[in-house]
Chain A
Amino acid sequence: MNPALQGLITIVVGVGGCVAYFYLSNQFLDRVLFPPRGPNTGRNINRANAIRPWLFLFPALFALGLYLAYPVFETLRLSLTDRSAGGAFVGLDNYSRMAADPKFWEAVRNNFLWLLIVPAASTAFGLLAAQLTDRISWGNIAKSLIFMPMAISFVGAAVIFKLVYDARPEDVAQIGVLNAIYLQLGGESPITWLTVPFWNNIFLMVVLIWIQTGFAMVILSAALRGIPEETIEAAIVDGANPFQIFFKIKVPQIAGTIVVVWTTITIVVLKVFDIVFAMTNGQWETQVLANYMYDKLFRANDWGVGSASAMIIMLLVTPILVWNVYNARKEMR
């Protein structure tokens, strides 16, 4: 069957199915199960209202449970078993095998580098862009353009930056901007940037910083606008210069938002896969955890170690998860 047709049918069936489910289950509840008439009218209404939320929630809960909650436990189980031995329980064997793999430690080291640099740089650039564009006439256009990489896929960004980092033999014209500038500034010969260990990590991080700065800028710019004007007026009257106003008055007031931005980008960083996969595929010491996991799961077919490394990512995310839940609960009260 033509996939486009299949897609159309799926939309109709999916949407129709959802609507039909919600409509019919409501009808069933009100007309058949607990009709609001007869001797038990009041009790029936109460019962129907107690059940209805679960009707509304059921498809979502089912999908969430199956696609996100169940895999966490299943992955934990897989990481403790050996697939080739028919799924026998092997304890922490996979973890110790993973710990013996130098590639894993390389991935951990690089992931920590990413965690240190990308959220910090994105937030800093975002804050800078937000503050600078806030009060100039063409600020919105500038914001739009800085925000634009958000719409570009990691793979697309990888191609864009591969062109920037492109290196060609010494005797022909350089078509990569970076090498062209490097030679202009007196560099001896073109460098293949992505194969220089350690520094190539930074060059990969630039791609994600480029994408995430727009996000940080949008959020922080909204926060900056929310700052009460009296505080700034008071500072000006007291003779503060623009830098003091920014660092001592504005930044402390949006500290909460900065933390939110920081953690959101941290989560993106922990899951970063496409950029490394498309640009170096973990060669030249650029491996990261998500790509290591993909390697193990789908290339080496080693589900044990693959799942173990997925659990490491989960472990790294958990503090943020707990913190988010804690904040959300605080808000609901």
Chain B
Amino acid sequence: MDNIAGKKSGLTWAVHISVAALVLLWIFPTLGLLVSSFRTTDQIRSSGWWAALFPAVQNEVFRTADPGEFRVERDGVFVVEGNLYVVAGRADTDGDVAAVVQAWGTSSRAIGAYAPGETADLGDGETMTVEANGDYVWTGSDDQLSGRGQRVFVTAESPPEFTFDNYQTVLFDPGNREGMAKAFFNTLTVTIPATIIPILIAAFAAYALAWMEFPGRALLVAGVVALLVVPLQLALIPLLTLHNDIGIGKGYLGVWLAHTGFGLPLAIYLLRNYMVGLPREIIECAKVDGATDFQIFVKIILPLSFPALASFAIFQFLWTWNDLLVAMVFLIDSSGETTVMTRQIVELLGTRGGDWEILATSAFVSIAVPLVVFFAMQRYLVRGLLAGSVK
């Protein structure tokens, strides 16, 4: 509609480009984590993740096999033959390596002195040849080919390579004490009851606040709106003390109750706003036909409120899944058996700060489920947001 006065096409292009830039800026950090979780430790250390999509050129140092063991005499000269990658344990004996040698040298001062296939003269008849696939031939006299293997500096290009090993380690390795498998199930155990129970309680309350006449109703609605913004930080110590006093202590029951309590204001508010908007005639017809409030609620209101129920369910799910504070205070005891994923990641940030393959993979494991829920149920999430704030 901006177009009716004949919008300039230059401006349209500017809009397209700025949106593209904005979107790129917004997904770039997440993309970094995702890509990093599929790279090996060496790759992560040697280059930024944005380089992962292109062939990587790396400088490496190899050593040939030890002459003492592997040299053979041939026509009066001694020869050591083999493949640099095989000697380094980076490839099988068939010489099938992914990297391609671009240049090599035998001195740290000239690491790219020779091209693959070229024969280097190391003085007094000692020679060395390195092929593009890492095969080498080293020849010389008895004296020259002794002691340790010759150092070879190699500049090689390896194609992009991705691996599932990190996920294997983080999720399925039973020996990995820092694995995410247990934390994943713990998170799930926290989340599902903490999502379902408040919905039911809130739905009844919301119906009463929306469609039943009684004194003090407006006051209660105002109270719910007020509690909507009360910081849950205030509740930590009083409720932990209470839980300890009544014998719940730290554990799943405590965290379920806490999440239920903290989630209720939003649940009641969202559901009430939605239910108030339902057509009055339906409810009045049902009443005339002799339906009780309970029947109206179960048979009419609940099915009609499905969109609102779904939006709150998504909110509560995301919130409980992503929560750190409530879990730390009400759930995780000193044994650490009940740790959740967010807590596990914070712990990893402390102990494995530089091991990005573990960190990135663990973080992505915990992010993946909310992302799936988000993209699958985005419609309801947006609807819930709109009902929750623009009122």
Residues of A within 8 A of B (CB): 3-4, 6-7, 10-11, 14-15, 18-19, 22-23, 26, 30, 49-50, 52-54, 56-57, 59-61, 63-64, 66-72, 74-75, 78, 125, 128-129, 132-133, 135-136, 139, 142, 144-156, 158-164, 166, 172-177, 180, 210, 213, 215, 218-219, 222-223, 229, 232-233, 236-237, 242, 245, 257, 260-261, 264, 267, 270-271, 273-274, 277-278, 290, 293-294, 297-298, 303, 306-307, 310-311, 313-314, 317, 320-321, 324-325, 328-329, 331-332
Contact = CB atoms under 8 A, between A and B. Distances in A.
Interface in B18-55: 18-20, 22-23, 26-30, 32-33, 36, 44-50
A310 B227 contact: no
Contacts of A153: 321-324, 342, 366-367, 370
Contact of A151 (B4, B45, B371, B385): B371
B325 A160 contact: no
Contacts of A215: 385
SS of B interface (majority): helix
A160 B225 contact: no
Contact of B1 (A7, A161, A233): A233
Interface residues of B, number: 118
- In the complex, which of the residues A4, A148, A277 has the most CB atoms of chain B within 10 Å of its own CB atom? A148
Given A4-B185, A60-B264, 7 more contacts: A59-B204, A63-B260, A63-B261, A63-B264, A64-B227, A136-B19, A233-B1
A152 B229 contact: no
A60 B44 contact: no
A70 B235 CA distance: 8
B120 interface: no
B180 interface: no
Interface string B221-245: 1111111111111111111001000
A132 B237 CA distance: 46
SS of A interface (majority): helix
Given A132-B18, A164-B32, A180 B231 contact: no
A135 B226 contact: no
Contacts of A236: 2, 4-5
Nearest to B377: A151
Contacts of A75: 234-235, 237-238
A89 B348 CA distance: 41
Interface of B: 1-2, 4-5, 7, 11, 15-16, 18-20, 22-23, 26-30, 32-33, 36, 44-50, 185-186, 188-189, 192-193, 196-197, 200-202, 204-205, 207-209, 212-214, 217-218, 220-239, 242, 252-253, 256-258, 260-262, 264-265, 268, 292-294, 297, 318, 321-325, 328-329, 338, 342, 345-346, 349, 356, 359-360, 362-363, 366-367, 370-371, 373-375, 378, 381-382, 385-386, 389-391
A236 to B, nearest CB: 4
